[in-house]
Amino acid sequence: MKNKLDSILKQHNLDGLIALGGSAHNPAMYYLTNGASIGERSLFVKPRGRKGVLVVNAMERDEAGKSGLRVLDLHTIQVAALAGRPARVGTPARAQAQLLATILRQLGMTGRLALTGLQDAGFAAELVAQFNRGRFGSTIVYAPEVLSRAAVTKDAEEVARIKAVAAKTVAVVGDIQDFLGGHRAKDGVLVDKAGAPVTIGVVKARINLKLAEMGILDAEGGTIFAQGRDAGVPHSRGQADQALRLGETIVFDIFPAEPGGGYFYDFTRTWCLGYAPEPAQALYDDVRAIFDQVMGALKVNAPTSDYQRMTTDFFESRGHPTIASQPGTQEGYVHSLGHGIGLQVHEAPSLSVRSSERLTPGMVFTVEPGLYYPSRGLGVRLEDSVWLNPATKRFEVLAPYPLDLVVPVRKR
């Protein structure tokens, strides 16, 4: 949680934290500035034990003020940074390093500093090299875990926001299920009143419209609605021009967010329209069995890796290849069991075999076992997101929704 930042800085022997960039699609900056809507040239600086300071272009001052942080004017600091120097300070990275040094001097900040925020990788490398060469009394050191260790547990307000996105997400899923179930089939293909095939493109357009009605959006542009063979490739998005066919597995994985870089939800169901052929049902039954088993076995303080191992053990016992016995396999169980969600759709903790994390009160994470057989034309994944409620120590699914495989369609 954000209120642990100072203790995490202390544990890492850090004197402060710097973040760069705008708040949109820059989770670190969004997090540290409490979601203020600020532009790409913004800087955040926080001395350990003191409140952060936000430096923005004056045009952004109203929105920056909503951060609750002290706001400084970028232009004023630029003038100070240039005082006594030639007007040209070399490359943009060098100018940025001098700007940072000026801010730190004004704040009386020195020592070992962590740096975060999304930046062009080449620019960031040069900025740090220039800064550390500048002998400003501070050094930027590599401390990748400061922010992720804070953000890995969510406070009440964060959970409330994720829950709100969750409720909207399943409302959209419900609408889509009703939409599909309201159609009839012809020659094994879902058709509309005029007899025209219902395509994945039509479904996706409806998803986006319903998300907008709810005030959330597919920020990553990546909603998965993939059937048959494509359902067997975990991150295939599905093909817009494809008609929906009865009896094929459809993986529907949706991960919308609040507009402007806010909180995500992550949710997957697998559907068969009309009926489930035996191989699809059998695959579903295996995924459902381990899904239920994991959900029932979640325990406070348990290593997250235990659940990945539980999943690979179960799938192996059912005769499926998994990445435990066949690293790199593209058939069977091919990914880790889950991941944290928050301002990123994928963040800590990782429910993978290499993770050393434990299930900690305040964590919000996905549980998403799946089985994939592209060569046989099918795949199944089920995913709910879970919050470990610090008050009750219970694991709560943030938005319960039926897990059924078959979506009946109209008879005529």
Cβ-Cβ contacts under 8 Å for 33 (sequence gap 6 or more): 23, 42, 44, 52, 54, 64, 67, 69
Binding mask 57-96 for its own copies (x = CB under 8 A): xxxxxxx---------x-xx--x-----------xxx---
- Nearer to its own copies by Cβ, of 96 and 390: the residue is 96
Amino acid at 301: N
- Name which of 108 and 122 has its Cβ closer to its own copies: 122
Q: Are strands 224-227 and 189-191 parallel, antiparallel or unpaired?
A: unpaired
| Nearer to its own copies (CB atom), residue 125 or residue 282 | 125
CB of 363 to its own copies, least distance (A): 20
**Which CB, 79 or 397, lies closer to its own copies?**
79
Of 332, 340, 281, 282, residue with least CA distance to 311: 332
Measured distance CA(57)–CA(342) in Å, rounded: 28
Residue 346 interacts with its own copies (CB under 8 A): yes or no: yes
In DSSP terms, which residues pair with 272 in a beta bridge? 249, 406
Question: How many binding residues for its own copies (CB under 8 A)?
Answer: 72
Residue window 366-395: x/- pattern of binding to its own copies, with contact defined by CB under 8 A: ------------------------------
Distance, in Å, from the CA atom of 218 to the CA atom of 211, rounded to the nearest integer, reads 8
Nearer to its own copies, 30 or 284 (CB): 30
The residues pairing with 16 across neighbouring beta strands, listed in sequence order, are: 47, 113
Instruction: By CB under 8 A, name the one of 2, 4, 24, 310 that touches its own copies.
Output: 24
Minimum CB–partner distance for residue 395 and its own copies (Å):
26
Shortest distance, position 144 Cβ to its own copies, whole Å:
6
User: Residue 198 in contact with residue 192, Cβ under 8 Å?
Assistant: yes
Per the CB < 8 A criterion, the answer to whether 73 and 65 are in contact is no
For the residues of 316-361, what is the DSSP string, one character each? HHTT--BTTTSTT-SSBB-S-SEEE-SSSSSEEEEESTT---B--T
- Which stretch, 35-43, 171-179, 246-254, 298-306, contacts its own copies (CB under 8 A)? 35-43
- Binding of its own copies by 262 (CB under 8 A): yes
Choose the binding region for its own copies from 210-218, 241-249, 284-292, 394-402 (rule: CB under 8 A): 210-218
Q: Among residues 16 and 274, whose Cβ is nearest to its own copies? A: 16
312-331 positions binding its own copies, by CB under 8 A: 327-328, 330
Does 39 engage in binding with its own copies (CB under 8 A)?
A: yes
Is residue 175 at the binding interface for its own copies, with CB under 8 A as the rule? no
Strand order from edge to edge, sheet including 111-116: 70-73, 53-56, 43-47, 16-20, 111-116, 138-141
178 lines the binding site for its own copies (CB under 8 A): no
Which is nearest to 229 in space by CA: 280, 286, 173? 280
Establish if 211 lies at the interface with its own copies (CB under 8 A): yes
Q: Tell whether residue 25 is a contact of its own copies (CB under 8 A).
A: yes
Question: Rg of the chain over CA atoms, in angstroms?
Answer: 24
Out of 101, 272, 294, 334, the only residue in the binding site for its own copies (CB under 8 A) is 334
Distances (CA, A) of 370 to 269, 308, 320, 384, 398: 10, 12, 11, 12, 20
In the complex, the smallest distance separating the C-beta of residue 324 from its own copies, rounded to whole angstroms, is 14
Give the one residue of 47, 52, 234, 338 binding its own copies; rule: CB under 8 A.
Answer: 234
Contact with its own copies (CB under 8 A): which of 335, 376, 401, 406?
A: 335
Angle ∠(349,351,352) on CA atoms, nearest 5:
120
Chosen residue from 155, 192, 220, 292 binding its own copies by CB under 8 A: 220
Tokens standing for residue 15? 């004197």
Q: Please state whether beta strands 43-47 and 53-56 pair in parallel, antiparallel, or not at all (unpaired).
A: antiparallel
86-145 positions binding its own copies, by CB under 8 A? 91-93, 114-129, 140, 142-144
Give the residue, chosen from 15, 248, 258, 368, that forms a contact with its own copies under the rule CB under 8 A: 258
